[in-house]
A and B are shown apart, each in its own frame.
Chain A
């Protein structure tokens, strides 16, 4: 039954369809801080070129999950893969494909915008000339070219967030994580950032995991993961989650899902 197909071609056909490989796969991940269980058997995927909202209240375990994906904490049980690269076994390959915007600000306030970007580029091994070109391009994209030389300290909250997103894109990741990126921003800055990130999904095919507790940041076509007290209560397209919860909108769906799960005697 051996066909005379050349090896190269054979490998081509055996190669999994790139789309089938999730940008991010979380598989049975649990995490405890001593006796407190922060995550319980969490599993979900983020597809390339999709916007996945991780919806949960404060304390749901979103930040713990982000710390695990970015290797700030070691994985206690379960597996996390980025485009098929297990982050425990091949962290270098996995992290190359990952861009992150953390919830707390992580910029050097006393350095200039460009200096912050160049530092990040160096951490990814991008040579100076290339780094300078990419920095200029990204600063132009977020409309901060004229501020390139000023100190980050002098920027507004919204500008800092835009800079952090630009920084996260500098090494051209295929997966972007954002942990409540709009917290503390005004309406205009929030809208700017949301539309910027959505553009990245449609124009550049980046897979986005957007953690939030704000329902109005989620749109009809999004994928949704509802995380509550360390457990995934629902996942799938937004409309499916709403239908399955027997609700009319995300808000009600979320309340029904989480309300049903409140354990007697109180949870975390």
Chain B
């Protein structure tokens, strides 16, 4: 019985173990994404439909005055590009949450959660992995948009990166928080109706807020309070090498709140425990 000396396991985890785990989760999420080509295509087609069709149609209806960060009159397409970038991330965040509900039903989530590393860290890795996938989508969109005359300054492609990481984390953790509350996959359609659409339309993604204010002061306040508006503005300013401090504060704050809430909700002694038997209860 000399082989059984297993009481003495190392306490805690080394930095290299954390890194291995993080890269492993991001790698697997990337692989899964590459295997789901239709997901990539649909993630690209959605914003491109808005860009090619909706924006072209609306170009004549909506005049855009010179508002920061823009220094000249701009085409409507140029205006909505940051909103569409944020939309990609919004859908991606919700899609990741969908896959978490799916994973939970199918049992894949269990593989993740029985890892000995701290659960909060595992969920954070999962969020980072989802954000990394959204970055691929956004940059692919920017590449196509460039041929459509959406040409931010070259440095903008670099300065927008931290903004995208932050907004990706915010929308991802929101999705994770929602996924912890969804009991079944079927309820996901409700998320579309009650989260994605209101967040997208009641924001500065499609129209500048001063225009909204002219139309409906009440909606204006709703848009102001919508974290998605601030994700859009953060991206918009960063794409032109500027920082919108208010949006940065709102997005940063919301990221922290959503992430803590999501990690709390996935704590076994709280959120999941109340939820009754998992799919395979026998």
**Contact surface of A with B, Cβ cutoff 8 Å:** 16, 18-19, 21, 33-34, 38, 48-49, 58-59, 62-64, 67, 70-76, 83-85, 88, 90-98, 100, 102-108, 110-111, 115, 118-128, 174, 180, 204-205
Q: CA of A121 to CA of B21 in the docked complex: distance in angstroms?
A: 8
Nearest neighbor of B281 in chain A, beta-carbon distance: A63
Inter-chain contacts of B16 with A (CB < 8 A): 125, 127
Cβ–Cβ contact A126 & B20, under 8 A? yes
Which residues does chain B contribute within 8 Å of A62, judged by CB atoms?
282
Given the complex of chains A and B, what is the CA–CA distance between A239 and B279 in angstroms? Answer: 35
Residues in A neighbouring B189, C-beta threshold 8 A: none
Contact A67 B6 (CB under 8 A): no
B278 touches A76 (CB 8 A): no
Chain B residues, Cβ within 8 Å of A16: 7
Are the C-beta atoms of A63 and B278 separated by less than 8 Å?
A: yes
Q: CA A97 – CA B11 in complex, angstroms?
A: 12
Chain A residue at minimal CB-CB distance from B2? A18
Residues of B bordering A, CB below 8 Å = 1, 3-7, 9-14, 16-18, 20-21, 23-25, 27-28, 31-32, 35-36, 106-108, 110-118, 122, 267-270, 272-273, 276-282
Q: A74-B267, A84-B7, A125-B17 are in contact. Are A106 and B282 (CB under 8 A)?
A: no
Closest 10 CB pairs of A and B: A122-B24, A125-B17, A74-B269, A95-B116, A123-B115, A106-B107, A104-B107, A74-B273, A174-B6, A110-B35
Report yes or no: A71 in contact with B114, Cβ–Cβ below 8 A.
Answer: yes
Whether B1 lies near A48 (C-beta < 8 A) is: yes
Number of residue pairs A-B, CB distance < 8 angstroms = 162
Contact pick for A33, options B24, B108, B277, CB 8 Å: B277
**Is B279's CB under 8 angstroms from A123's CB?**
no
How far is it, in angstroms, between the C-alpha of A62 and the C-alpha of B269 when the chains are bound? 19
Q: How far is the CA of A111 from the CA of B24 in the complex (A)?
A: 13
Question: Known: A73-B272, A84-B7, A119-B28. Contact between A125 and B117, CB under 8 A?
Answer: yes
Cα of A148 to Cα of B46 in the assembled complex, Å? 37
B28 and A92: CB pair below 8 A? no
Minimal beta-carbon separation of B140 from chain A (angstroms): 21
A18 in contact with B17 (CB, 8 Å): no
